[in-house]
Structure 1
Amino acid sequence: MGLANRTSPSAADYAQYPERFNNWGRWGEADELGTLNHITGDVRRNAAALVQEGRAVSMARPIQTQPGPANPWPAHHLVGMPHARGAGDYLAMFLHSFVDTHIDGLSHIAGPNGLAWNGKRLGENGMPIEHSGTVDFWRDGIVTRGVLYDVPRFRGTDFVASGEPVHGWELQDVADAQGVVPQSGDAVIIRSGHDPYWAATGRPPGFESVAGVHVSALEFLHDTEASVLVWDFQDAPSHDQGLPNPHGSEIPIALHVHAIALPHMGLPLVDNANLEDIAVACAELGRWAFQVVVAPLIIPGATGSPVNPLAIL
């Protein structure tokens, strides 16, 4: 199996992924950056040189305060009364959702072997036992080259449909079609067409995986030394993967990509991005690489943070 012969991994192949794509110890036993180590000073300088129009485009969704099928735990946003004589906003939110744009820390989820990044164990509550793998280690932010892989545009469709997941070899095809050469340290930004998908169904999104990225993309991400994955749809569902859920019934949502990317590769994930505006901008300009800036909040011990990823063209 693999990118070379364009075949999906079998269950036996996927069982080898925790070793095949394992970066434990690559940057030291105490490493907290994971694949963000691929972002060198030269990578940042080269990314800055991509700013030509001086135009910034947000790739985030508004924080959702209304409940819905995809948002059973809406954010709480309260404002002070007039007599407070000043700003009085209070915000509380559940970070790991299907609606709000957020970055997953490396301790957000354990792999199939029950271990998180660099072989660390999580507690019974799923949180880190020690101060490791949390987003406060990324206080200096993520500044690198971003490449938009606009899969629906490449396919000539409005969105990635259920049953037609994004494979690793297709990402290389998209790069070739867009005239982009993947580079070490890239933020790989995969557009599957989240908003057009749900608009076509005529119903609101649910708290589930319905379409998205296949685990075969992990080989592409590993081999090209991606630093971070940004996506609108997340892991394709189990029936699209052709694989059993790596967490069994413990976590009913399909997290096939999450289960390898975070704990074994050390690859941060920016979930629920809004990629419609950047797709329009890239098509208008005819270029698909730009500077990306992602700045997680400094929340000690947190397994994630809300973010507003910026594409700067």
Structure 2
Amino acid sequence: MSGSPAVSRQEFDAIFAAVRTWGSWSPADRGAWNRVTPEHVRRATALVRSGTAVPLGLPWDTRAGPDNDRPALHHMTDLGDVEPAEPATYKDFIAADFHGKAVSHLDALAHVAYRGRLYDGRTAREAVGASGARFGSVAALGPLVTKGVLLDLPAVLGVGWLEPGHPVHARDVAAAERALGVTVDDGCAVLLRSGRFRRRRELGPWDVGAASAGLHVDAVPLLAERAIALLGGDGDSDLRPSPVEGVHSPVHALAVAAMGVPLLDNLDLEALSAACAGAGRYEFMIVVSPLNVPGGTGSPVNPVAIL
């Protein structure tokens, strides 16, 4: 699994064209979530056996650091002394510039443009403005309930984590399927565990924007062929440094802008890894319910895996 061959811009554009699904669905701004039918939901419910529910969202992070350059906000607005009548109330305010490396969030289709185009070929400058997105907003997605697959690469390799900069190639995805006894198939959500947060707990934080384990672009055609609905991980799915010249987040471009596949970034997959190992299976039902933000390019989110 070592090595990260460079990919030229011309080669990348050929991959983009090969995995593109523009014109495939209506409504287009739900993208690959259109793949998930009631039958997919029923299939997912059949994976619930123990009833163990595992939340995947990180704690709300208000502390600045090398992996959190835009801390979230949390402060109290009522300490029980605003209204004199009973009962007393306590209120607070939260906010976040969530598209970063510290907040668990979902990227909607309005979040990523490549060569000036959002998913389905929409012109980004026309579709997204100061008031938000008129196409591809998170409000168009709604909730998702489907089969989830955990590709637990450290478990496959017998290591605590993948080192930053470690590429995950198509052959590694296929090997993980065989080792874990899972199948990535149509309408499913694929979660890639690199062990980022175990490494962080044991060795401390680092600049994950500069170096992180993630998918090499050669893995994306395999995921496109399997017709997935959602991609996520404990990083942001992208390998960093990027193997593609002039494209800092190539997996974002391929998944969101070409394939119409929303992304889940910065999930804490450590408890899910332990639960899957204990259950002896790496497939489960996953529930993702982003905030209903009209015009939003994404949303903080706390997905739940149910075994």
Q: Which residue in the other structure is 2:85 paired with?
A: none
Structure 1 pair 225–176 and aligned structure 2 pair: CA distance change class (3 A): same
5 Å matches for 1:147-226?
147-200=149-202, 202-206=203-207, 208-211=209-212, 212-226=214-228
Structure 1 pair 27–9 and aligned structure 2 pair: CA distance change class (3 A): farther
5 Å matches for 1:228-267?
228-234=230-236, 235-238=238-241, 241-246=242-247, 254-267=248-261
* Distance in structure 1 (CA, Å) of the matches to 2:129 and 2:163: 34
* Distance in structure 2 (CA, Å) of the matches to 1:125 and 1:116: 8
* Structure with greater strand share of residues: 2
* Distance in structure 2 (CA, Å) of the matches to 1:126 and 1:237: 27
Q: Which residue in the other structure is 1:249 paired with?
A: none
Q: 2:123 aligns with which of 121, 124, 132?
A: 121
Q: 1:66 aligns with which of 63, 67, 70?
A: 63
* TM-score normalized with structure 2 length: 0.90
* Distance in structure 1 (CA, Å) of the matches to 2:185 and 2:126: 39
Which secondary structure does the structure 2 equivalent of 1:205 belong to? coil
Say what the alpha-carbon RMSD is for the aligned residues: 2.1
* Distance in structure 2 (CA, Å) of the matches to 1:58 and 1:207: 23
AA at the equivalent of 1:193 = G
* Distance in structure 1 (CA, Å) of the matches to 2:54 and 2:159: 23
Structure 1 pair 124–187 and aligned structure 2 pair: CA distance change class (3 A): same
1:13 aligns with 2:7: no
Q: Is the 8 A contact 1:245 1:256 kept in 2?
A: no
* Distance in structure 2 (CA, Å) of the matches to 1:237 and 1:217: 15
* TM-score normalized with structure 1 length: 0.88
1:47 aligns with 2:47: no
Q: Is the 8 A contact 1:145 1:187 kept in 2?
A: yes
* Distance in structure 2 (CA, Å) of the matches to 1:100 and 1:22: 28
User: Which ranges in structure 2 are unaligned for 5 or more consecutive residues?
Assistant: 83-87
Deviates more, 1:215-224 or 1:122-131: 122-131
Q: 1:95 aligns with which of 93, 98, 107?
A: 98
User: Which ranges in structure 1 are unaligned for 5 or more consecutive residues?
Assistant: 1-5, 247-253
5 Å matches for 1:293-304?
293-304=287-298
Structure 1 pair 32–69 and aligned structure 2 pair: CA distance change class (3 A): same
Shift of 1:43: 0.8
Query: Per-residue displacement from partner, 1:201-220 (whole Å, max 9, x unpaired)?
Result: x3323251412221122112
Q: Is the 8 A contact 1:127 1:303 kept in 2?
A: no
Aligned residues: 295
* Distance in structure 1 (CA, Å) of the matches to 2:150 and 2:33: 18
Structure 1 pair 124–181 and aligned structure 2 pair: CA distance change class (3 A): closer
Q: 1:110 aligns with which of 110, 113, 135?
A: 113
Q: Which residue in the other structure is 1:306 paired with?
A: 300
Q: Percent identity?
A: 34
* Distance in structure 1 (CA, Å) of the matches to 2:127 and 2:141: 23
Q: 2:35 aligns with which of 24, 33, 38?
A: 38
Query: Per-residue displacement from partner, 1:192-241 (whole Å, max 9, x unpaired)?
Result: 110133345x3323251412221122112101111001201221113xx5
Deviates more, 1:129-138 or 1:275-284: 129-138
Shift of 1:243: 2.2
Deviates more, 1:285-294 or 1:188-197: 188-197
Structure 1 pair 130–304 and aligned structure 2 pair: CA distance change class (3 A): closer
Structure 1 pair 127–289 and aligned structure 2 pair: CA distance change class (3 A): farther
* Distance in structure 1 (CA, Å) of the matches to 2:128 and 2:294: 16
Which secondary structure does the structure 1 equivalent of 2:29 belong to? coil
AA at the equivalent of 2:301 = V
* Distance in structure 2 (CA, Å) of the matches to 1:309 and 1:205: 25
* Distance in structure 2 (CA, Å) of the matches to 1:20 and 1:208: 27
Q: Which residue in the other structure is 1:289 paired with?
A: 283
Q: Is the 8 A contact 2:58 2:268 kept in 1?
A: yes
Q: Is the 8 A contact 1:8 1:216 kept in 2?
A: no
